[in-house]
Amino acid sequence: MKARIDDFKERRTHLEHMSDAELKTYFYKLLDQMIDPIMDLAFTQTSPSIERSVLLRMGFSSIEAKALVDLVLENNLIEHGAGHVVYKYAKKHKLDIRDAGLKILETNDLADIKEAFKHD
């Protein structure tokens, strides 16, 4: 086995003068730098499986969630989120969330919601 070059003492020189509190602050600063791109990705990207998961938590069955996500995809509204589409439909038509989702599945019509997203 090849010996590992131990350069720990050299790599830690910039940390030697820090107190425990300063090290903790520095650690969280580095952690934020590491997490920021991940958080950005989470806010700007989605997938059908994520959208189905959201709808499941909103009270829809897996079959209903899949059908709703498919309809949202067909109407190019996935960027807004399937749950957001259902929520917006519910508000517009004064329905509760579940009834709104079932109505969307019944009518297969998201034209008015597409228009509503254009004005946001």
C-alpha distances in Å from residue 61, one per residue of 15, 23, 54, 77, 83: 53, 48, 11, 21, 13
Query: What is the CATH number for 93?
Result: 1.10.8.1000
pLDDT tens across 90-102, in order?
A: 999 999 999 999 9
Instruction: Say if 98 falls within a structural domain.
Output: yes
Structural domain contains residue 3: no
Q: Which domain does 66 fall in, by range?
A: 48-118
Alpha helices in the chain (DSSP H): 8-11, 20-44, 48-57, 62-74, 82-93, 97-107, 111-118
* Nearest-10 crossing angle of helices 82-93, 48-57: 50
Question: Which amino acid is present at 28?
Answer: Y
In a domain, 43, yes or no: no
7-39 confidence digits (pLDDT tens): 888 888 999 999 999 999 999 999 999 998 888
Q: 68 with 82: CB under 8 angstroms?
A: yes
Inform me whether the pLDDT recorded for 107 exceeds 90: yes
Instruction: Enter the pTM of the model.
Output: 0.66
In a domain, 64, yes or no: yes
Q: Report yes or no on 83 lying in a domain.
A: yes
pLDDT tens, 46-92?
A: 899 999 999 999 999 999 999 999 999 999 999 899 999 999 999 99
Cα–Cα distances (Å) from 90 to 11, 99, 114, in that order, read 57, 8, 14
Q: How many domains does the chain have?
A: 1
**Residues 82/51, Cβ–Cβ less than 8 Å:** yes
Residue 105 lies in a domain: yes
86, 104 contact by CB (below 8 A)? yes
Residue 112 resides in a domain: yes
22 domain residue, yes or no? no
